[in-house]
Structure 1
C-alpha cells in the first residue's frame, strides 16, 4: 500500500494544481465525484455548442457569437456573470462584436493540467452559485444552523426557491441531504416524513458536497 500513500501525498503537495485540487476534494469527501464529472460535462457541452456555431470549422467565433452561446447555454446566469466569462475569454472594453476569438484555446490546459482562465471562471461561478442557492434555502427555511428540520420542510423550501426542480432532481437532493436511498424516500403525504429530522447545518453541509444547481428562476412575488 506504500504506492497508494505516495500518490496521496503527492496529490496533497500539488493541491495548487486545479485538477489535483478537485481530485483531492473528492478523495477527502469534500465533494461527491458527481461534482467533478458534471463540471467536465458542462465544459464539454459548451465547447460543442461553440463548435456548432462555427459553421466553417475555422476555430473562430466573433465576440457576439460567444456572448450568444454563453447566454443560450447558461440562461440563468446574470448579465454580469456572462460579462465575467467574456472577459476571461479575452473580451475587453475596446473589443468589437466582430472581433474574432480562437474559442478552442479557451479549453486548453497547460503542461501541468491547469485550465485557462475561462474554464477556471466557469468553475468559480459554479461554486458561488451553489453557495447562493444554499443560502437562499437556509433563508427560506428561516432556521438557525443548530436547529433541526424535517424532510417535508426541506422539500417545500426547495420547491419554493426553485419551482422548476423536477421530481428526480428534487429527490436526489433530498436523498443526499438526509442520507436516504431515493427508493426509500417517503412520498410527501405520508405522516412518517415528519419523523425524518436532522440538524439544518448537516443538511447544508451534505448538499454542499453534491452537484447542486438551480434548475430555473424563482417565481416573483405578486406586487400588491
Structure 2
C-alpha cells in the first residue's frame, strides 16, 4: 500500500540505478521510419503533424531551422506525455527536473541574445506603450519579475497538468475496492473519458510549451 499518493511518480526500480529515465529514449524508436519502402501510418501522421506545426509557426518564426528546433521540443514533450498514459511506464515530464531542463536553457539563451544584440528593444518591452510617468518604475519592476519567472511558470504549468490527471485516475482506480460491483462499469466509463481528456491535455500542453517559447523568442528579436 502506498504511504503517499505521489509515490506513483517516483523513478524507482529494483536495482540501485534509476533506469526509469531511459523511457524518454524510447522515442528514438519512432525516428527510423523514413527507411521503410512504404510509409507507415505513424510516419504519415507525424509528417502531417509537422507540416501543420510549420504552418502554425510561420507567422512567429521565419527561420526554418528554428522551426524544426521548436517542433522537436513539441514532439519530445508530447510523446513523453503520451507514454505516461500507458501502464507501468514512467512519465518523465511529470517531474520539474525534466521540464526545467528544457525551459531554463532556452529562456536563458534568449535573454542573453536579446540583451546583447537588441538591448534597446529589450528596454522598450519593460515599459508598455502609454504608461504614465509615475507608474514607469513599478512597470519596470513588474515586467522584470515576470521575465525572470518565465522558466518557472513553463515548468510548473507542464508538471502540474501532468500530475493532476494521473492523480485523478489513480484516485478513481482506488475506489473500486469500496464500490458495489454494479457501479464498476460506470467507474470504467468515467476513467475512459478521463483518459481521452488526458490524451488531449498531452497534446495541448506540448503545444502551449512550444508556442510560449516561440513568443518569448519573438520578443527578443
Is TM more than 0.5 here?
no
Structure whose residues are more often strand by fraction? 1
Structure whose residues are more often helix by fraction? 2
When normalised by structure 1's length, the TM-score is 0.31
When normalised by structure 2's length, the TM-score is 0.31
Larger RCO, structure (CA 8 Å, separation 6 or more): 2
